Amino acid sequence: MKITDALQRFLEYLEIEKGRSLKTVRNYRQYLTRFIEFANVKNISDIDAEAVRQFRLHLNRQPGTKTRGQASGTMKRRTQNYYLIAIRMFLKYLMKVGHKVYSPDHIELAKTEARDVDHLDVTELSRMLEVAQKHPRNYAIMHMLFSTGLRVSELCSLDRDLDLSKDELTVRGKGDKLRIVFISPEARAAVLEYLKNRTDMDEALFVQDGPGAVKREEKNETLRLTSRSVERLVKQIAIEAGISKKVTPHTIRHSFATDLLRNGADIRSVQVMLGHSNIATTQIYTHVTDKQLREVHKKFHNKK
């Protein structure tokens, strides 16, 4: 089978049978197309150990992401693994539909370093909330992020007709999976106060404001905040709060998870609340609590 036909069928399989989002399908197309073009793959049989080995060398020698115009070292191993995972899944699909292919089990992922997890302590979060309180929308966004642990894309997708009479809501996360998240009384109050003063008719929960929003409304365009917009406003709030480290909506999500773990939540519950399909993803947060566990060990272990 020609590789172009096989690739198209695989992408359709991801979208229809596996229910992957269009963004995920686009990413897989990008990863696999790069491999196919580099290795000059024409047919399924062209994917072999040497083709994969040469591609791994190629990836490992690529420059890393650019910061202020300068590339930072070589491509991160975590990024390299995205390509390898895509190749493995492609091969598994081909085996599933009856083709004899190079075994995906022979493709080992690159070892990666433990991810650093930045989070806010109680004082830093309080300072950010104090700054955000000047703007009802920003205050509601900050409370919602910390109360629910939502991804920024999930926050931006919320509509204003959500039922705030309950302390929970259903969100659609990665892979179109539904999960329940919980809203604190403070978050509910902040959102209600924000909605009370809204004059627009946009269906989105969080929208743009200012002159730009007026122009968009006149053109009948959506006012819904984008993920990038929320990232910018969280960054600005952190700067105004005097926090020197980089703060993003994901930092607040990290803070949500570490706060739960430090207060005794079990990791399985945190996994469900974050919407992680694999508990290994959630386990990156456990090392943040190691210091606390060390203190417990010192206090209670081997006492006479």
Q: Which of 51-60, 209-218, 232-241, 280-289 has the lowest mean pLDDT?
A: 280-289
Q: Is 245 a catalytic residue?
A: no
* 151 belongs to the catalytic site: yes
- CATH second-level architecture of 3-106? Orthogonal Bundle (1.10)
Question: Residue with structure tokens 């990038």?
Answer: 228
Cα separations (Å) of 237 from 92, 93, 153, 223?
A: 46, 46, 19, 21
Catalytic residue (one of 93, 102, 194, 285): 285
- What tens digit of pLDDT does each residue of 192-249 get? 999 998 988 899 999 998 777 777 877 788 899 999 999 999 999 999 999 988 999 9
The overall pTM is greater than 0.85: no
What is the CATH number assigned to the segment(s) 122-296? 1.10.443.10
Query: Which entry of 151, 188, 224, 254 is annotated as an active-site residue?
Result: 151
92 noted as active-site residue: no
Which of the residue ranges 7-11, 21-25, 116-120, 153-157 would you say has the lowest mean pLDDT? Answer: 116-120
How far is Cα 157 from Cα 241, in angstroms, rounded to an integer? 27
User: Could you state, in order of their start, the residue ranges of all structural domains in the chain?
Assistant: 3-106, 122-296
- The DSSP secondary structure of 213-264, one letter per residue, reads HHHHHHTT---BPPHHHHHHHHHHHHHHTT--S---HHHHHHHHHHHHHHTT
